[in-house]
Structure 1
Amino acid sequence: MASSEDQYDSDDGMDDFMDRFKTEGYENGFSENNWEEEFDRVPMFMKKAPEVIDPKIYPELACIQAMIHDEDRPPEEQAKSLKDEGNVYFKEKNYKKAILSYTAGLKKKCGDQEIDTVLLTNRAAAHFHLGNMRSALNDAAAAKKIKPDHLKALIRGVQCCTELRNFGEALQWCDEGLKAHPKDKKLLELRAAADKNKRAAERDARKAKAKEKKLHGEKEALLAAIKDRGIKFLKSHQRGSDSKDEGSSAAISQLSLDGLSSQEVTGAQVFLDEQGSLHWPVLFLYPEHQQSDFISAFCENNCFIDHLAVMFGEELPPWDADRKYHPQNLQLYFEDEKNETLFQVHLETPLLKVLQHKRFYVKGGTPSFIVLVDGSSFRKQFVTGKKIQGL
C-alpha cells in the first residue's frame, strides 16, 4: 500500500507537470488552426466518411473497418456490421457505396432472415434513389419473399412499380401489404394513387387507340382519293427508268403517308378536306434565278393563276431585278424527264387536270413546275434541245 509520503510525492509531481503544461503546452494537442481537421479524423465526429481510408491518416477508422471485415467473426456479426456501414453511407447519400456494403453483407449468407430482409430492403432503397427501379424492385421482391409482411419492402415495391408505370402490379403490391397492414396510411395513399394512375393510363390508351383508328381511316380515304383520280407517283429509284410499274395503280396502293410527305423542310403533305378535295404541297421553280416558291396547300380545284397573281402582283420579288415576272409574262411547264419533253400548262388550268395528265408524275410527294418568262433569252436557251407540247 502506498504511504502518505509516496502519495505526497505523486501529487507533487502532478503539480510540476501541470505547471510545465501551462507554459510549454501539449505538443500533440489541437490548435486553433487545425482542430476542425483533427476532429474530422475521429470516427465519432466525422461529418462524412473518406473515400479512401489510409491507416496513417485515419488509424481509428481503419481499426473499426478491420473489425467490421474481420473474417474470424460469426457471419451474423459480419453481416450486421456491413449493414451498419451501408447505413452510414446511405445517410451521407453515397448510395453506390451503400449498395456495395449491403451486397457484401448479403454475400455472408448469415442465415438470419431479419438481417437479410433489412439488407435487401435497404439496398432496394439505395437503388431507388439512384433511379435503378428494376434492381430496386427485384430487391424488394426478394425481401418480401423472405418476410411477406415486411412493411418497408412492400412500400418500396409499390413505389418502384409506380415509377415503372406498372400500375396494375403496384395495386397488387398494395393489396398484399394491406392484408398484413390494413390501416397503414402510407399503403392506403399509395393504393389510391396507383388506382388513379391506372385509370388515367387506361383512358390515355383508349384515346390513343381511337386516334390511331381515326388516322388510319383518314389515310385510307386519302389513298383512295388519290387512286380514284388516277394520279401517278414516281419514286426516286424509278426516275428515268423504263419500269412498267412506273406510276401504276399497284404502286399507288403501296403508298404510305410518309411516302406522301413533301421533301421540303416544311414537311407538308397532301391532305383531303371535309368537302373531299385534295390539297397538295406544290413547288414553283425559277431556274433563271435559281429561286423557288413553296405552296403548302394548293387546292386541286384552284388554277395556277390564282397563286401566281398573288406571288407576282403589285410587289415583285427582290431577286427580279429587271421587273419582268408579271403574271401576263409568265409561262408554266412541267418536265417529262424520260422523254426530254416540256409540257406547257395554261395558267387558267386547274391543278387536278395537270396531275391527271398521262405523263405527269408526282415526285417526292410534291408536284413541281417550272416558271419562265415568255420571250426571254434564258427561256430560249432553256428549251433548246427539248420538245415542247401543250396539254
Structure 2
Amino acid sequence: MAQSDSDDGMDEFMDKFKSQRYKNAFTENDWEEEFNKIPMFMKTAPEEIDPQKYPELACLQSIIHDEDRPPEEQARCLKDEGNAYFKEKNYEKAVVSYSAGLKKKCGDQELNAVLLTNRAAAHFYLGNMRSALNDAAAAKKIKPDHLKALIRGAQCCIELRNFPDALQWCDEGLKAHPTDKKLLELRATADKHKRAAERDARKAKVKEKKLHGQKEALLAAIKDRGVKLFQSMGPRQHGSEGEEEEEERSSAAIAQLSLDGLNSQEVTGAQVFLDDQGLLHWPVLFLYPEHQQSDFISAFCENNCFVDHLAVMFEELPPWDTDRKYLPQNLQLFFEDVEKEKLYQVDPETSLLRTLQHKRFFVKGGTPSFIVLVNGSSFWKQFLSGKKIHRL
C-alpha cells in the first residue's frame, strides 16, 4: 500500500481544486474589503472593534489589554497602540491610549517619559497647548535631558506666546544638546518674538501715556469752561436744592469724568475733542418730536452758532417735512432740565459754548441734545402746553 505524501490529507484537499472551485475564496469584487479586515493588511483601524466583524483584531486587542501581564508590558503595548493611532492622525484616541499606559504606573521611568512626551505631541496637534506643556514638563522632571520633551515644551510656550519661558526651555535643552538644530531654531524664533512683544509693549505704553495726556487736557478744558456733565448722584432730599449743593453735584461730575463717559451712546459713539487751536468740538443731537426724527452733528465747534448749522441742515427740506414748514427762520430750539422739569429756549444766534455754560445745562452721555419745534405750529402749542418755559 502506497504511503500518502501527507498525513493530514492536504494532498487530497488540493486535488479537489482540479475538479471544483474553492467555495470560501475571496472574489474579484470583495478581496480588498476582506483584506482590510485582516490586521496585517488594514489601512486604517475601525472606530469600533466588533468581534463578529473583526475577530482577529478583537483577539489582538484582548492580548494588549490583558490585565494578567506585568504593568511594564501592558504600558508598552498601550504605547504602541497610541503610536498607531498617532500615525493615523487620530490624536484623540492616541491620547486615550497613552493615558491608559500611564495609569499602569509601571516602574520603567524611561517608558513613562516616552508616554508623556508622546501624549504631549498628541495634545499639541489637538491644540491643547496647556495639557501638552504639562506633559512635557512631567517628562522633563523624569528625565531632564529628554530632547523631545524639551523641544515640545519650547514649542508649547511659543504657541502660548510665553516667550521668556520658551527661551528658558531652549536654554535648558541646549545645555544637554548644544548643537541640536531644532532647539537652536526654536530659540531664535522665541527671541525674535520676545523682542517684538517688548517693542509693542513699549509702543503701547507711549500711546497710553499720550492718550492720558490728551484726556487730562480735555477734562481741564471742559472744567475751565464751566460745562457741567450730568451724573446721577442718588435720590435727592426733599426740599429745594441750594446753590452750594448744585455746585457740589457739578464738581463731582467733573471729577469723575472719563473718556468713556464722554462717548455718545445715542447715535454714533462720537466723542468731544480738543483741536490744535484749543477749541472744543462736541457731538450734538437735534430732536424733532413732531416727526420722531433726529439729526446728528459729530463735531459742532463750541464757537459756532446754532443758526449756522440750521441753515445748512435745512437748506433742502427733509422728506418727512411734507408741510414744508421746517425753514430755519421758523425754528425754535429748547433744552430740557429733567430734574426741575423745565424747558429753556435757546436763541439760534447764541454760540454752543454759551449755551453749555448755562447753570441748568447738563451734558448727558457726552452729547448735548436740543429739541427743535416749528414756532406757532399746532404741535408746538400742544408740546409746550403746561410746561415751564424760560428764555436764555
TM range (shorter): over 0.9
1:333 and 1:344 in contact (8 A); partners too: yes
Say which of 281, 284, 287 aligns to 2:283: 281
- CA distance in structure 2 between the partners assigned to 1:318 and 1:220 by the alignment: 43
Q: Aligned pair in 2 of structure 1 residues 131, 46: CA closer, same or farther (>3 Å)?
A: same
- CA distance in structure 2 between the partners assigned to 1:232 and 1:368 by the alignment: 14
Cα distance, 1:374 vs structure 2: 2.0
Structure 2 unmatched runs, 5+:
none
1:205 aligns with 2:201: yes
Matches within 5 A, 1:1-391: 5-7=2-4, 17-22=13-18, 24-235=20-231, 244=245, 247-313=249-315, 315-391=316-392
Backbone CA RMSD of aligned residues: 2.1
- CA distance in structure 2 between the partners assigned to 1:145 and 1:370 by the alignment: 73
- CA distance in structure 1 between the partners assigned to 2:65 and 2:11 by the alignment: 45
Cα distance, 1:278 vs structure 2: 1.2
Structure 1 unmatched runs, 5+:
none
- CA distance in structure 2 between the partners assigned to 1:136 and 1:86 by the alignment: 15
1:29-63 residue CA offsets vs partner (Å, 9 max, x unmatched): 21223222211111111122122222222111111
1:143 and 1:153 in contact (8 A); partners too: yes
Aligned residue-pair number: 385
Higher mean C-alpha displacement, 229-238 vs 253-262: 229-238
2:267 and 2:296 in contact (8 A); partners too: no
Q: Aligned pair in 2 of structure 1 residues 337, 44: CA closer, same or farther (>3 Å)?
A: same
3-state SS of the aligned residue for 1:109? Answer: coil
Query: What one-letter code is carried by the residue in structure 2 that aligns with 1:56?
Result: Q
1:270 and 1:280 in contact (8 A); partners too: yes
2:158 and 2:166 in contact (8 A); partners too: yes
3-state SS of the aligned residue for 1:283? Answer: strand
- CA distance in structure 2 between the partners assigned to 1:108 and 1:214 by the alignment: 60
Query: What one-letter code is carried by the residue in structure 1 that aligns with 2:283?
Result: P
2:231 and 2:253 in contact (8 A); partners too: no
- CA distance in structure 1 between the partners assigned to 2:209 and 2:175 by the alignment: 42
Higher mean C-alpha displacement, 82-91 vs 19-28: 19-28
1:303 and 1:347 in contact (8 A); partners too: yes
Cα distance, 1:289 vs structure 2: 1.4
Q: Aligned pair in 2 of structure 1 residues 74, 239: CA closer, same or farther (>3 Å)?
A: closer
1:79-131 residue CA offsets vs partner (Å, 9 max, x unmatched): 11111000011111111111111111112222212211111110000011111
Identity across aligned pairs (percent)? 78
TM-score computed with the length of structure 2 as normaliser = 0.92
Cα distance, 1:337 vs structure 2: 3.2
- CA distance in structure 2 between the partners assigned to 1:319 and 1:240 by the alignment: 41
1:225-260 residue CA offsets vs partner (Å, 9 max, x unmatched): 111111112236769987745742122101221111
2:233 and 2:249 in contact (8 A); partners too: no
3-state SS of the aligned residue for 1:7? Answer: coil
1:287 and 1:370 in contact (8 A); partners too: yes
TM-score computed with the length of structure 1 as normaliser = 0.92
- CA distance in structure 2 between the partners assigned to 1:247 and 1:307 by the alignment: 32
Query: What one-letter code is carried by the residue in structure 1 that aligns with 2:4?
Result: Q
1:328-364 residue CA offsets vs partner (Å, 9 max, x unmatched): 1211111223334322211111100000001111122
